[in-house]
Structure 1
Amino acid sequence: MITKEREIKALITLLGDEDQNIRNIAREKLLDFGEMASDYLRDVVHKDYEGRIRIEAWKILEEIRLEKLTDEFRKLSQAKVFDLEEGAFLLAQFEYPNLDVQAYKQQIDEMAEEIHGRIFEIRDVRRMVHVINQYLFYEQGFRGNVESYYDPQNSYINRVLDRKLGIPISLSALYLFIADRLDLPIFGVGLPGHFMLKFHCEWDEFYIDAFNYGQLLSKNDCVNFLKRMGYTYNESYFNIAKPRDILARMIRNLVLIYHQKNQKNKVDVLERFFSLIVNH
């Protein structure tokens, strides 16, 4: 262990070498050490080391972090049961590495508990959804971000919870996480251009637009909505979306946003995540 510690420290020193080839060799070896080198690299980043060494150390740390996150996406994709909520928080950690996931899950738990206290005696399912919508969109203030629709923050579940702003799919994801805690038969439906929710039980079926304050819609309303957006009717649009497909669509949205911002590094990493999710 002492030998490896000395080797890591020596390699970090070489990150400041004038010779690019030596710096590259040191970088690759530090990447091979992975997590073992992380503490030493963090120490360098936060101390008064030579500028080049600090910059290179930060880059290596970020690469190690993203490789670890990629492994987490791989595990998620290979799991027997695909956990959308876990995936949404992994995606959030791409942009927010120090995210306190448990604190945000606790926040969702508390919202679900509050809603449960209001709906547990209600038998009319539409009335039940109305109560949920009243709490989420009017009391809590969640809404669609029509002013800055393409702000990437709209796609990260932690920022949706922080700002109470989102796009159709991220607001729907939050709704799904709460519905799952309440054992409600609410599912995602990936309509083109606008993600929706479907309440489906033996005696009733209707759609919920989380982007528009939980507006309740019939299937015919959705068909007319699609026509106004220029889409012809296709029954497959109304299929229940698999959790895997929902996360893939969330990632794809971010890929498009970062592509427009010319942030190629982020696009490359997100496309790696996307590939792991869809090519399972």
Structure 2
Amino acid sequence: MQETKEIHALFTLIDDPDEEVYSTISERIVGYGKGIIPNLEHLWENTPSEDVQSRIEMIIHRLHFTDLTTDFTEWRESAYHDLLFGALLVSKFQYPELQTTPVIQEIEKIRRNVWLELNSFLTPLEQANVLSSILYNYYNLKGGEINYEKSDEFFLHKVLESKKGNAISNALIYQVLCDQLEINARIINIPKQCIIAFYHSDYDPALYPGHPQDKIHFFVDGTSGQAFSHADIENYFKRISVPPVASYFKPVSHKRLIQLLLEELSKCFDSPTNAYKHAELLQLASLLDE
């Protein structure tokens, strides 16, 4: 963006010690939109003061966040809430310059490897075994318990880079592949778990009046790809002393999954210095209320 006299004047006031003045100045700069980011980056490179650099970084973050809020609103209003696109929007919170094309290509490479091994004669369990074998053995994706000290394990592009995710991110990758392969498998809302249910091919949650568990063949742990039977899940509910009500076996919507990802990610930023990121992530999550 061409640096006008007004922009130059605003930039010279970024170091003003009066917080009210700085707040007004930053609001005016943010009002220019993300086109002003290269100017701010140039200013940062030529600023010796670390305090001023920190203020510039915060203004750039606010510009990216404003843009991201618009992207999430558009995703919310879209007819089909593409799960991969939603997860990549979450990644852009921490990595605003993320190029999504390589990530989409990596997912496509995995999808194609799975697709080549599938055929119409395979049972749902055989389909799950093919997908799990390629994702967790051939591709070597690893997973562990959610660790709020490791925020990168929530970002799909970082999970694909390191091949190490957590219960949520691994399950999201698994479901993205199922969606793309037209396998009727979805993440369900079992307490404290990220479990994927493999449904009967004719199951439609909007139309089926009975208990959704009746339409589930089996379950898969999104962290590791391990298959579970109905008895395994029933034993888990007994162990945690929670009744297995129907709502736990209904598929979670894409919108709710991305909201859950944002809510869980926010817990990685609970220190005082990161309190603004915690609040912003919850603000994005609230946009997706159903």
> Normalising by the residue count of structure 1, what TM-score does the alignment of the two structures yield?
0.89
CA distance, structure 2, for counterparts of residue 113 and residue 78 of structure 1: 30
Distance 1:189 1:48, change over 3 A: same
Q: From 256, 274, 279, give the equivalent of 2:285.
A: 274
Question: What is the count of residue pairs matched by the alignment?
Answer: 276
Q: Distance in 2 between matches of 1:137 and 1:60?
A: 41
Of 105-114 and 224-233, more deviation after overlay is shown by: 224-233
2:229 to 188, 213, 218: 218
Cα root mean square deviation, aligned: 2.3
Report the secondary structure of 1:205's partner residue. strand
2:30 aligned residue? 31
Once the two structures are TM-superposed, the CA of residue 25 in structure 1 deviates from its matched residue by 2.9
Alpha-carbon distance between aligned partners in 1 of 2:17 and 2:149, rounded to the nearest angstrom: 42
Matched residue SS, 1:277: coil
Which one of 190, 199, 205 corresponds to residue 217 of structure 2?
A: 205
Offset at 1:167?
Answer: 2.2
The offset of 1:120, in angstroms, is 3.0
Structure 2 residue aligned with 1:61 = 60
Distance in 1, Cα, partners of 2:18 & 2:174? 54
State the Cα distance separating 1:177 from its structure 2 match. 1.2
- Structure 2 match to 1:247: 258
User: Which range moves more in the overlay, 91-100 or 249-258?
Assistant: 249-258
Q: CA deviation at 1:150?
A: 5.5
Task: Give 1:42's aligned amino acid.
Answer: E
1:89-124 C-alpha deviation (Å, 9 max, x unpaired): 000111122222111110000010111111136422
In the other structure, the counterpart of 1:6 is: 5
Aligned partner of residue 96 in structure 2, secondary structure: coil
The 3 A distance-change label for structure 1 pair 187 and 18 is closer
| Alpha-carbon offset, residue 226 of structure 1 | 2.6
Q: Give the helix-richer structure, 1 or 2.
A: 1
Corresponding residue of 2:208: none
Query: Superposed, which structure 2 residues align to 1:84-163 within 5 Å?
Result: 84-120=83-119, 122-146=121-145, 148=147, 151-163=150-162
Q: Deviations over 1:171-199 (max 9, x none)?
A: 11101111122111111112110011111
For 1:236 and 1:147, locate their aligned partners in 2 and report how far apart those are by CA, in whole Å: 23
Q: Which amino acid aligns with 1:94?
A: F
State the 1:63 CA deviation. 0.7
**TM-score, normalised via structure 2 length:** 0.86
User: Is the Cα–Cα contact under 8 Å of residues 188 and 196 in structure 1 kept in the other structure?
Assistant: yes
Conserved 8 A contact 2:155-2:169: yes
Cα distance in 1, alignment partners of residues 30 and 80 from structure 2: 32
User: Residue 149 of structure 1 contacts residue 167 of structure 1 at CA under 8 Å; is this kept in 2?
Assistant: no
Asked if the contact 1:155/1:254 (under 8 Å) is kept, the reply is yes
Structure 2, gaps ≥5 residues long: 203-215
Specify whether residues 166 and 18 from structure 1 end up closer, same or farther in structure 2 by C-alpha distance, changes over 3 A only.
Answer: closer
Counterpart in the other structure of 1:237: 248
Question: Does the 8 Å CA contact 2:148/2:267 hold for their aligned counterparts?
Answer: no
4+ long deviations beyond 6 Å:
none
Displacement after TM superposition at 1:21 (Å):
4.2
For structure 1, which segment, 22-31 or 68-77, has the greater mean C-alpha deviation from structure 2 after superposition? 22-31
| Structure 2 CA distance for partners of 1:77 and 1:5, relative to 1, 3 Å | same
- 1:11 deviates by 0.8
CA separation of 1:30/1:107 partners in 2, compared to 1, >3 Å: closer, same or farther? Answer: same
Identity value in percent: 21
Distance verdict in 2 for CA 1:226–1:166, change over 3 Å: farther
1:185 is matched with which residue? Answer: 184
Q: Give the match's secondary structure for 2:244.
A: coil
Q: Distance in 1 between matches of 2:18 and 2:152?
A: 40
Counterparts of 2:117 and 2:254 in 1: how far apart (Å)? 27
The answer as to 2:275 corresponding to 1:264 is yes
Give the conservation status (yes or no) of the 8 Å contact 2:196–2:220.
Answer: yes
Counterpart of 1:209 in structure 2: which amino acid?
D
**Counterpart amino acid of residue 111 in structure 2:** A
Distance 2:257 2:245 in 1: 19
**Are residues 193 and 40 of structure 1, via their aligned partners in 2, closer, same or farther at CA, if it must alter by over 3 Å?**
same
1:202/1:92 CA distance change after superposition, 3 Å: closer
